[in-house]
Structure 1
Amino acid sequence: MIEYIKGEITELTPAMAVVECNGIGYGLNISLNTYSAFNGKKEGKLYVYEVIREDAHLLYGFADKEERNLFLMLISVSGVGPNFARTILSSMSPAELVNAIATKNEAMLTAVKGIGAKTAQRILVDLKNKVKLSDEKTADSNMPSSSLNTGVIAEEAVAALVMLGFQKALSQKAVISILKATPTLTVEQVIKAALRML
């Protein structure tokens, strides 16, 4: 079992990170929150969850243990797989997810693409006694970056949405309309907005 991987971040997209450790590049599926935590950094330590299947060996990486714990809780719910859990963690911060579960905010969960009322209720029922509200406010690190042009942001956002399982044409349409309305958004903000639309 791999607990964490620490090394040079050689590649980083909103859905994937490649961390080089002792000459081996590990490709890790990440959420938008983890992307935000490591964006602009050359080195990092990602906590890992391994999925070993007959046809694949997948690694999921997290910026901290709290996000990984939430991921593990989510995949313990019937009908929520690793990619679905990653989409949930890309749609809201760990603090927002904990708050939604603790306050039984079904509407906040059903706002995430793919979560219907039944799945939201299952998440709330299964996890209500497993999460605790914290007084700490999560810092918003999504500061607009003027150095990135809209085309690059649109391209990265579409690529991330496709990696999360959405159709390319629909993703492009959503991203273009979001950036037309608000061209100053960061990649993370565009993806979060698109996840609510798709």
Structure 2
Amino acid sequence: MISYLKGTFVNITPSATIVDIGGIGYEVNISLNTYSKIQNQEKGLLYTHVIIKEDAHLLYGFSDIQEKDIFLLLISVSGIGANTARLILSYMKPEEVSSAILHEDSKALERIKGIGKKTAERAVLELKDKIGKQHTDIVITPGKSTVSSVKQDALEALLALGINRQQAEQNLSKLLQAEPELALEDLIKKVLKEL
């Protein structure tokens, strides 16, 4: 098992990055929370979780151990796979996920694309006691970019999260017309809320 990767970040996008370690590039899937922390870094460490499927070996990376812990708890719930857990952590901060579960606020989870009422209620039921033992304290620092590159980066992230291209493009255009100064992670979160 690969517990973490420490190296040079290559081609950081809102949904993935490549970590170069001694000339070998590891493609790592990340959430918006992790992206917001590493987007301006050249080097760093990502805590990782490996998922092995019949047709692929997938690496998921996290900027801190708390986000990884929440991810592992989420994928332990029936009906929540790795991509859905990453989507949840792109839509909500780890401490917001913890708070929603601790306060039995399944509606907060239901607002996320791909999470139905039963899955949200199951997550609350199965994770409430486990989450109560964990503490998360994460602060997101927004980044700045040009409107065109922000739109393209946001589109790529939304597509990687399984959002329909046409729907994503329409919502991105509408939001950027209204608020052209939106930071990338804020733009993606607003699109996710409107879907």
> Hey, what does 1:194 align to over in structure 2?
191
Q: Structure 2 length as normaliser, TM-score?
A: 0.95
Q: Measure, in 2, the Cα distance between the counterparts of 1:31 and 1:136.
A: 16
Q: Is the 8 A contact 1:31 1:86 kept in 2?
A: yes
Residues 59 and 137 (structure 1 numbering): CA distance in 2 closer, same or farther, change over 3 Å?
closer
Q: Percent sequence identity over matched residues?
A: 42
> Hey, what does 1:140 align to over in structure 2?
140
RMSD: 1.5
> Hey, what does 2:36 align to over in structure 1?
36
Query: What are the within-5 Å matches in structure 2 for residues 1-198 of structure 1?
Result: 1-132=1-132, 138-143=138-143, 145=144, 148-198=145-195
Q: Measure, in 2, the Cα distance between the counterparts of 1:139 and 1:28.
A: 21
Paired residue type of 1:141: T
Q: Is the 8 A contact 1:18 1:27 kept in 2?
A: yes
Q: Is the 8 A contact 1:113 1:197 kept in 2?
A: no
Paired residue type of 2:132: K
Deviation at 1:137, TM superposition (A): 5.3
- Match of 2:131, SS state, is coil
Q: Structure 1 length as normaliser, TM-score?
A: 0.94
Q: Measure, in 2, the Cα distance between the counterparts of 1:65 and 1:135.
A: 11
Q: Is the 8 A contact 2:94 2:136 kept in 1?
A: no
Paired residue type of 1:106: S
Note the residue ranges of structure 2 that are not aligned, 5 or more in a row: none
Deviation at 1:138, TM superposition (A): 3.4
Aligned residues: 195
Runs of 4+ aligned residues of structure 1 deviating over 6 Å after TM superposition are: 133-136
Q: Measure, in 2, the Cα distance between the counterparts of 1:178 and 1:118.
A: 31
Residues 92 and 69 (structure 1 numbering): CA distance in 2 closer, same or farther, change over 3 Å?
same
Residues 53 and 135 (structure 1 numbering): CA distance in 2 closer, same or farther, change over 3 Å?
closer
Q: Measure, in 2, the Cα distance between the counterparts of 1:97 and 1:13.
A: 23
Deviations 1:16-48 (A, max 9, x none): 011100110000000000001101000010011
Q: Is the 8 A contact 1:158 1:172 kept in 2?
A: yes
Deviations 1:81-114 (A, max 9, x none): 0001000000010111111111111221111112
Deviation at 1:71, TM superposition (A): 0.5
Deviations 1:47-71 (A, max 9, x none): 1110111111110001111111111
Paired residue type of 1:152: S
Q: Is the 8 A contact 2:158 2:188 kept in 1?
A: yes
Q: Is the 8 A contact 1:46 1:64 kept in 2?
A: yes
